[in-house]
Structure 1
Amino acid sequence: MAHNNTVFAQLLKLLPRHEFETLARQHHHGARLRSTSRWSQFVAMTLAQLAGRASLRDVVSNLGAQSAKLYHLGAARVTRSSLARLNATQPHSLYEQLAGRLLHQCQCRAPRHGFRFKNTLYSLDASTIDLCLSVFPWARFRQTKGAVKLHVGLDHDGLLPAFLTITDGKTADITAARALRRPKASIVVMDRGYTDYAWYHRLHTQGLFFVTRLRKRACYRVTERRPVRKAQGLTSDQTIELNGAKAGNCPIRLRRIGFRDPATGQHYAFLTNHFGLAAATIAQIYKARWQIDLFFKWIKQNLKIKTFLGTSRNAVMTQIWIAVCVYLLLAYLNFVSKISSSLKQIIRLLQLNLFERRDLLALLRGAPPRASRLTTPNQPALRLNIHGTAVYEHKHFRNHVID
């Protein structure tokens, strides 16, 4: 029978170890580590993400219970104090850079979005992670609350977080969006929280397209009307010019598309600078923005980014960036295995089989485990009889009963 390493070890092999060690040397602070390593830290924190461990003590105990299998992971046992010190003092920028490498690895395998146009499509949004202000005083958000905010630009090719930054809870969504740098001809879709006419104009001059919702009180003048197919839910397709108080910040022609959702009856007014796509396609592009909300929901429900194993800013950032690395590892595994299972199904399978010696791809494809002999000819098997007493089944002492 072919030998298989543990499922956890096979998952970690998707990450080039030599690249990790190079990044670890570049993002090191202080004296040389003697009793542990950044790789052991990453293995422990990845285990916390995949297995849902609740505390540092829980993580260390879990690793201790699997100490015989740590050699194949390339890691060593870590103590609770060492892991806490690494999380608090060693720069989280290592895992930020590692996420960038994994993102590039995923993009080479990611499937295209489902639209017929060839432009790259990104959705922008942000999500707040609440923190207890008394435990995380550095994360002041409101008078009695703390928070950090995840700003994400989701690439619809594979639904990957192509642009991600973590700020304090007070940072406005548009502030992080202004730092976005995307290839020319990309399409960026966002909600009304990103309304900034000057930024729209800058995107246009950079050769980018945007799709958003028009504010209800926006002032504009219609310069051209085009026929629409009302059977598709469209109500209007217009060329407009802004003429409000801040119209001078965006002195270009824009396109306003009216759409009524046949399921809910709600009316939407979309704003874009793309005149080449059909009006119905623009509406579908904005509908696809819902994928970024599903991304935030998935990562909060399945990975540990709401409860933290450390209280310092660096420890929180380390845990969040490792969660992003785990998401990208799972996405890459999904791409290379070419299975129809969702990421949620994949992570559930991994949680139940992390330290099992099974072929990883066979596990994901639903192949049953290979049959193995649980007993040897000279080793009896223990079973329970109907009366609840333990019975050894062996041809030499089949009648012996243990009370």
Structure 2
Amino acid sequence: MNIGKTLFSQVMEFIPWTSFARIVYRYGGDSRVRSLACTEQFRAMAFAQLTYRESLRDIETCLLANQAKLYSMGFHSPVKRSTLADANEGRDWRIWADLAMLLIRRARKLYCNDSFGIDLDNTVYALDATTIDLCLSLFPWAPFRTTKAAVKLHTLLDLRGNIPAFVHISDGKTHEVNVLDILAFEAGAFYVMDRGYLDFSRLFALHQAGAFFVTRAKRGMDARRVCSMPVDRSTGIICDQRISLNGYYISKDYPEQLRRIRFKNPESGKTLVFLTNNTVLPALTIAALYKSRWQVELFFKWIKQHLRIKRFIGNSENAVKTQIWCAVSTYVLIAIVKKELKIDASLYSLLQILSVSVFEKTQLSQAFAGSRLLQDQINFANQLNLFDF
């Protein structure tokens, strides 16, 4: 029974605290700590994400206003902004990265049977990166341009459930394609990428690992047609070819044949050229796979709108990475809660409910009972008519 427990406490019960304790011990997170243990630090950072707090003073003030409920929420004493700032600056960000990956593994098991719109048994990943702009004078460790700093969030998104399977944080100057060097490719999985990842030596390494890729060809690519497959042009497929790369060095980078599919979008009229190493799937399925890559763009848009990763409460590299990893952990945690409790509502609806009721003492399932109605109301237009005849 959860009677007497706040909603925040019930959400935190989905964290595997025993495994988290081993992570903290691995990095010495609680070594010589007098107050604000790692468990309390994460609770404070998760509270900031769930309630849209944007500064240390916001966190301190809101928690202090509900001081009588802090102990039941897992805080042994009021959270001071200076103590939280020191913890974010000093404690290894890899603690929160490992926690996020622990939650990600759990979430992916829960969502592994979900559909993403394409009848395919293989795991499908969308790979991309987004830039988070920073002030150069405050974040000199993250150079991007002459007058701007930034960090890049490289994400490999599992399209079944939109769970990030891999996240890497770098400075703004790091090119997206470099993340292929640190990815462990999964045999049989599909990796859908845009043209920024078109590096044939790296793609051949992916191919040799037994994985498949779907990307777009760059204009002026030097290649020759080996053979053509019959196609139905009424479906939008213009051609389905096997090609070999020309040129001495590029042919060494990818010495085997590639599949090139030219597709004309019947809606926009735009012609797209796809490259893949898969020779079995129908050409229309390859085009649909690339279209599904848009899910990672929507994921970036969503987290920037609903998580606190655009304004940071610390300026050091460790503090920024701590905040981003805590945001990722919170996102995955809510996804786990949604699946475990079998709630038929969007993550947006759940976050909105939690943002105004984390201190309420009611059962989670009861608190989320109105999320379905909220989802239905969101779909209605709320703009009044300017002229009513």
Compute the TM-score of the two structures, normalised by the length of structure 1: 0.88
CA contact under 8 A between 2:194 and 2:216: conserved in structure 1?
yes
Counterpart pick for 1:357 among 326, 341, 361: 361
Q: Which residue of 1 aligns with 2:103?
A: 102
Deviations 1:337-395 (A, max 9, x none): 22331111111111121111121122223289xxxxxxxxxxxxxxxxxxxxxxxxxxx
Where structure 1 has 5 or more consecutive residues not aligned to the other structure, the ranges are 369-403
Deviations 1:133-177 (A, max 9, x none): 111111121111111111111111211110111011111111112
Amino acid at match of 2:49: Q
Deviations 1:318-343 (A, max 9, x none): 00000000010011112222233111
Segments ≥4 residues shifted beyond 4 Å: none
In the alignment, does 2:184 pair up with 1:181?
yes
In the alignment, does 2:345 pair up with 1:341?
yes
CA contact under 8 A between 1:4 and 1:357: conserved in structure 2?
yes
Provide the secondary structure at the position in 1 that maps to 2:241.
Answer: strand
Amino acid at match of 1:72: S
Q: Which residue of 2 aligns with 1:19?
A: 19
Deviations 1:198-224 (A, max 9, x none): 112111111111000011110111111
CA contact under 8 A between 1:218 and 1:244: conserved in structure 2?
no
Cα distance between partner residues in 2 of 1:234 and 1:322: 44
Provide the secondary structure at the position in 2 that maps to 1:136.
Answer: coil
Residues 80/68 of structure 1: CA separation in 2 closer, same or farther (3 Å cut):
same
Residues 137/190 of structure 1: CA separation in 2 closer, same or farther (3 Å cut):
same
Provide the secondary structure at the position in 2 that maps to 1:125.
Answer: strand
Provide the secondary structure at the position in 1 that maps to 2:260.
Answer: strand
Matches within 5 A, 1:3-152: 3-28=3-28, 31-76=31-76, 77-110=78-111, 111-114=113-116, 115-152=118-155
Deviates more, 1:79-88 or 1:284-293: 79-88
Cα distance between partner residues in 2 of 1:240 and 1:291: 29
Provide the secondary structure at the position in 1 that maps to 2:370.
Answer: coil
Residues 221/367 of structure 1: CA separation in 2 closer, same or farther (3 Å cut):
closer
Cα distance between partner residues in 1 of 2:10 and 2:107: 17
Deviations 1:212-270 (A, max 9, x none): 00111101111111122223211111111111452221111111111111111111000
Q: Which residue of 2 aligns with 1:389?
A: none
Counterpart pick for 1:211 among 205, 209, 214: 214
Cα distance between partner residues in 1 of 2:199 and 2:314: 37
Q: Which residue of 2 aligns with 1:276?
A: 280
Pairwise CA distance, 1:25: 2.0
Provide the secondary structure at the position in 2 that maps to 1:182.
Answer: coil
Q: Which residue of 2 aligns with 1:156?
A: 159
Counterpart pick for 1:240 among 235, 240, 243: 243
Cα distance between partner residues in 1 of 2:267 and 2:210: 35
CA contact under 8 A between 1:211 and 1:286: conserved in structure 2?
yes
Pairwise CA distance, 1:16: 1.5
Counterpart pick for 2:232 among 211, 229, 233: 229
In the alignment, does 2:256 pair up with 1:252?
yes
Provide the secondary structure at the position in 1 that maps to 2:137.
Answer: coil
Residues 31/280 of structure 1: CA separation in 2 closer, same or farther (3 Å cut):
closer
Q: Which residue of 2 aligns with 1:392?
A: none
Cα distance between partner residues in 1 of 2:144 and 2:63: 36
Amino acid at match of 1:9: S
Provide the secondary structure at the position in 2 that maps to 1:274.
Answer: coil
Cα distance between partner residues in 1 of 2:213 and 2:268: 25
Provide the secondary structure at the position in 2 that maps to 1:171.
Answer: coil
Pairwise CA distance, 1:2: 7.8
Residues 17/136 of structure 1: CA separation in 2 closer, same or farther (3 Å cut):
same
Compute the TM-score of the two structures, normalised by the length of structure 2: 0.91
Deviations 1:22-65 (A, max 9, x none): 22222225851112211111111111111111210110111111
Flag the structure with higher helix content. 2
Cα distance between partner residues in 2 of 1:307 and 1:2: 34
Deviates more, 1:325-334 or 1:221-230: 221-230
CA contact under 8 A between 1:52 and 1:303: conserved in structure 2?
yes
Cα distance between partner residues in 1 of 2:338 and 2:174: 34
Residues 4/284 of structure 1: CA separation in 2 closer, same or farther (3 Å cut):
farther
Where structure 2 has 5 or more consecutive residues not aligned to the other structure, the ranges are 373-389
CA contact under 8 A between 1:44 and 1:60: conserved in structure 2?
no
Provide the secondary structure at the position in 2 that maps to 1:130.
Answer: strand
Cα distance between partner residues in 2 of 1:170 and 1:293: 20
Cα distance between partner residues in 2 of 1:222 and 1:19: 54
- Aligned-residue identity in percent: 43
Deviations 1:265-316 (A, max 9, x none): 1110000010110100000000000000011001110000010001111111
Q: Which residue of 1 aligns with 2:194?
A: 191
Cα distance between partner residues in 2 of 1:150 and 1:329: 19
Cα distance between partner residues in 2 of 1:358 and 1:81: 32
Q: Which residue of 2 aligns with 1:393?
A: none
CA contact under 8 A between 2:154 and 2:179: conserved in structure 1?
yes
Pairwise CA distance, 1:182: 2.5
Cα distance between partner residues in 2 of 1:17 and 1:249: 46
Aligned residues: 368
Amino acid at match of 2:89: A
Provide the secondary structure at the position in 2 that maps to 1:137.
Answer: coil
Q: Which has the higher contact order (CA 8 A, sep 6+)?
A: 2
The CA RMSD over aligned residues, in Å, is 1.7
Cα distance between partner residues in 1 of 2:79 and 2:304: 27
CA contact under 8 A between 2:309 and 2:323: conserved in structure 1?
yes
Amino acid at match of 1:54: E
